[in-house]
Amino acid sequence: MEVMDSFKSKLLGMTNPRSWSRVSTNEAKLNIGKEDILISDGPTGPVMKISPKLKEQLHKPWFNALVLKNMGRPHTLNFMLTKLNQKWTLHGQWQLTDLGDGYFVARFQMKEDLEYVLIEDLWVIINQYLTVQRWRPNFVHVEDSIRSILI
């Protein structure tokens, strides 16, 4: 019980809205109130519940994102950045995050760039197809079922 109380006090200190006032999602600052995070005891340890309002704020920057899956040998983040920059003709900035196991998340500044990548072409990186799907909340790449694609 002492460990749980220590954990709660540390986490509550971290989630104090004042201490998070400078946290930003690039688009807007997060507004975290005391009612947005509830910490309780669970059967296997502490459980943190996040309000739907806070979840919406956290998801918002990812709505202009795509999940990419390399259908062959995995490549490094720098390699994929180089190859995708060569293939994609984009108008705004974008970011690429490596999720591991051949999965990446591409976040786009402009919706038109997202739509271009999503529907414009069948993307191939060194003779390996790249699947492209919209990002969705609670996406977990190790639970994803992409194993093959129709060509």
- pLDDT at residue 90 greater than cutoff 50: yes
- Domains of the chain (ranges; CATH) run 2-60 (no CATH), 63-137 (3.30.70.330)
Helix (H, G, I), strand (E, B) or coil at 112: helix
- Residues 7 and 48: their CA atoms lie apart, in Å, by 11
Determine the pLDDT at residue 21: 37
Give the rounded distance of the alpha carbon of 87 from its chain centre: 23
- Residues 114 and 116: their CA atoms lie apart, in Å, by 5
- pLDDT at residue 12 greater than cutoff 90: no
pTM for the whole structure: 0.66
User: What residues contact 12, with CB distance under 8 A and at least 6 apart?
Assistant: 39
Determine the pLDDT at residue 29: 73
β-strand partners of 81: none
8-22, 54-68, 122-136: the lowest-pLDDT one: 8-22
% of the chain with per-residue pLDDT over 90 = 28
Q: How many CB atoms lie within 10 A of CB 74?
A: 15
- Residues 17 and 14: their CA atoms lie apart, in Å, by 8
Determine the pLDDT at residue 24: 38
Q: Give tens-digit pLDDT for 18-75.
A: 443 333 345 567 778 888 888 888 899 888 888 988 888 888 888 899 999 888 888 8
Amino acid at 82: T
Task: List the Cα angle 39/44/46 in 5-degree steps.
Answer: 15
Highest mean pLDDT: which range of 24-38, 87-101, 132-146:
87-101
Greatest CA separation found in the chain?
Answer: 58
- Residues 120 and 29: their CA atoms lie apart, in Å, by 33
Determine the pLDDT at residue 19: 41
- Residues 113 and 101: their CA atoms lie apart, in Å, by 25
- pLDDT at residue 121 greater than cutoff 90: no
Average confidence score pLDDT of the chain: 78
pLDDT band at 6 (very low <50, low <70, confident <90, very high): low
